[in-house]
Amino acid sequence: MGFSNDLADEATSGRAIVSVRDLVQHGFALPAQAQVLERVAQDFRLRITPEMLEAATSAGVARQFVPSADELLVRPEDMADPIGDDVHAPVPGLTHRYPDRAILHVTKTCEVYCRFCFRRETVGDTGHLPPDALDRALNHIAATPAIWEVILTGGDPLVLSPRRIADLLRRLEAIAHVQVVRLHTRVPVVAPQRINDALLAALDSRLAVWVVVHTNHADELTPNAAAALQRLVRAGIPLLSQSVLLRGVNDNVAALEDLFRALIRLRVKPYYLHHCDMARGAGHFRTTIAQGQALMAALRGRLSGTCLPTYVLDIPGGHGKVPIGPGYVQADGAAWVVTDPQGKQHTYTDPST
Ligand code: SF4
């Protein structure tokens, strides 16, 4: 299979916002801000799909996608690879952090570029994983019988054409010990037209295919997004969600409650609420751990267990993901002691202001 350098969504690229000039034209920036925003966009590409452009009348949506001069402020705690993808990469394009699962980075392209992205140093190109790198990654998976689950991510795996997705699934199906494929994607929400019959046919597999949808605000769940999620549900694909706790987007009880209730109504189980990672230039999105814990405590009194995700921390540096709570994350004066899945302890310090 060859992954060529095609663009994310030829079908909609004519109407997407892709430049600072577009931002100004649509009233998301003043002409006087253009120069500084050009510097921001050079560091990390800008793209807002037509679906999110419509939804961006909501401040909780716009803040996620509209670049800001705050991104030029790099704090001491910021990291180029906050969750340690590269620390656990046996071959390029593959992260093998836990024995039973591996992450395959099939592309560096996304439909939108989220300004807080934890992979903002590596995503934003138009290239997919080259064929030789894909071969090596699949060879590693085939040679490692402990790998039971393969997580397709990127970038966003659903920017690949249905033909490419089908080819990749056929190759994974041929590896007997692989039983589960999980796709981590923002596409059903930000580019719902991609969830079409051809894609659903491509996802029909002997493997258990799960889709984990990234969404952070109820206002992203437009009627088109809801319809796309329902198409996946009707195709028999189980849906989970992951969200990021983001200052100025969803860091209040009402916003999170609306989001989780909306997801359950759409038959999407809220799975993880991520504490915002230490991505470079994303400090203005971070809350403190104590703020996140207070929000989760307030939600627990209002929502059923089905609506509540697990609040998690990806330990900076690639030490794994843990629930934020007793046994894993303990207050230690002004800092936190975090115990990783192997029992090793790390110190976490809340964002500097
Ligand atoms: S869709 Fe995911 S990988 Fe792409 S910019 Fe957003 S958070 Fe990053």
Beta strands in the chain (DSSP E): 94-98, 101-105, 149-153, 180-185, 208-214, 239-245, 269-275, 310-314, 321-323, 329-332, 335-339, 345-349
Would you say residue 118 lies in a domain? yes
Per-residue pLDDT tens for 284-324? 999 999 999 999 999 999 999 999 999 999 988 888 899 99
Cis peptide before 292 (omega within 30 of 0): no
Of 78, 219, 251, 314, the catalytic one is: 314
Residue 280 is among the residues annotated as catalytic for this protein: no
pLDDT > 50? residue 8: no
The mean predicted confidence, pLDDT, of the chain is 92
pLDDT the model gives residue 48: 98
Helical ranges in 15-112 per DSSP H: 20-25, 34-43, 50-55, 59-65
In ligand 1, the atom with minimum distance to the C-alpha of 110 is 4
Name the strand (E) or helix (H) holding 231: helix 223-234
List Cβ neighbours of 324 (8 Å cut-off, separation of 6 or more).
Answer: 275, 289, 292, 293, 296, 311, 312, 313
Would you say residue 328 lies in a domain? no
The mean pLDDT value for 103-126 works out to 91
**What are 336-345's contacts with CB under 8 Å, separation 24+?**
336/289, 338/313, 340/315, 341/98, 344/319
What distance in angstroms lies between residue 216's CA and the mean position of ligand 1's atoms? 12
Identify the band that residue 125 occupies on the pLDDT scale cut at 50, 70 and 90.
confident
Q: Is 274 in the pocket of ligand 1 (CB under 6 A)?
A: no
Q: Is the pTM of the predicted complex or chain greater than 0.85?
A: yes
CA distance 11 to 332: 52
CA distance 84 to 81: 5
Would you say residue 55 lies in a domain? no
The answer to whether residues 5 and 126 touch, using CB atoms and an 8 Å cutoff, is yes
Nearest CA to 188 out of 153, 151, 155, 226 is that of 226
pLDDT the model gives residue 12: 45
Ligand 1 pocket mutation, candidates 9, 111, 123, criterion most atoms within 8 A of CB = 123
Of 108, 119, 247, 280, the catalytic one is: 119
Would you say residue 353 lies in a domain? no
Would you say residue 313 lies in a domain? yes
Q: Among 48-57, 70-79, 87-96, which range has the highest average pLDDT?
A: 48-57
Residue 119 is among the residues annotated as catalytic for this protein: yes
Q: Which two tokens stand for residue 158?
A: 């659903």
What distance in angstroms lies between residue 248's CA and the mean position of ligand 1's atoms? 18
Taking phi first (over 0 means left), then psi (-120 to 50 degrees means alpha), and beta for anything else, what does residue 304 get?
beta
Nearest-5° Cα angle at 143, 137 to 145: 115
Would you say residue 343 lies in a domain? no
User: What percent of the chain lies above the pLDDT cut of 90?
Assistant: 80
The answer to whether residues 279 and 118 touch, using CB atoms and an 8 Å cutoff, is yes
Q: What is the CATH number of the domain that holds 292?
A: 3.20.20.70
Give the closest residue (by CA) to ligand 1 atom 7: 117
pLDDT the model gives residue 81: 76
* Higher-scoring residue by pLDDT: 86, 344: 344
pLDDT the model gives residue 350: 87
Q: Is 316 in the pocket of ligand 1 (CB under 6 A)?
A: no
Would you say residue 138 lies in a domain? yes
**Cβ-based neighbour number of residue 87 at 10 Å:** 12
- Least confident range from 61-65, 70-74, 145-149: namely 70-74
Q: Which domain holds residue 97?
A: 75-320
The mean pLDDT value for 163-172 works out to 98
Name the CA radius of gyration of the chain, rounded.
20
If one counts the domains in the chain, the total is 1
Identify the band that residue 32 occupies on the pLDDT scale cut at 50, 70 and 90.
very high
pLDDT the model gives residue 14: 52
Q: Is 156 in the pocket of ligand 1 (CB under 6 A)?
A: yes
pLDDT > 50? residue 2: no
Would you say residue 15 lies in a domain? no
For residue 161, CA distances in Å to 201, 204, 261, 339 come to: 12, 15, 32, 40
The answer to whether residues 313 and 294 touch, using CB atoms and an 8 Å cutoff, is no
In ligand 1, the atom with minimum distance to the C-alpha of 186 is 1
